[in-house]
Amino acid sequence: MIIYIFVSRIVSLLMDKQKEKSYIYDVQVVSKNRTKEFKALLDTGNELKEPVTDLPVMIVAENIFSEDDYDVSKTFDIPYCSVGNSKSILKAFKPESIKIRIGNKYCCKLALIAIYNNRFTEEGEYQALLSRYMI
């Protein structure tokens, strides 16, 4: 009985990891003629949009983009609220292009990129959160 419980827990853990990988996408962003490539997790709870342009917002860890990668004078202030945090503002910019790999091809998307001043995971499995409006 103990062996069965142990094996079923391991199988369940492996299946959960495999399912999580299906929500991770390869992303290419071009800004100021520089291409950045990273992995992004589809965050189905991310409904963040810029209020004026109504563009979805992809949240990216700060180590991906520096202020040299976008025009600081053309940033957007995105108000947001998350669980356990009070209302705050994210700085965002509009890149030249965003391509998300879906299956075997890349699809171009219009969106803003907000810089998040932290990492999403300790292991670094992904560096960004995709809005559900981008897929």
Q: Which residue in this structure is represented by tokens 């910019």?
A: 93
Residue 126's region, left for phi above 0, alpha for psi from -120 to 50, else beta, is beta
Selected catalytic residue, list 43, 54, 68, 71:
43
Radius of gyration, alpha carbons of the chain: 17
Task: Say how far apart CA 97 and CA 84 lie, in whole Å.
Answer: 33
Task: Say how far apart CA 98 and CA 107 lie, in whole Å.
Answer: 8
Which residues lie below 8 Å from residue 22, measured CB to CB, with a gap of 6+? none
Q: In the annotation, is 16 catalytic?
A: no
CB 58 within 8 A of CB 40: yes
Catalytic residues: 43
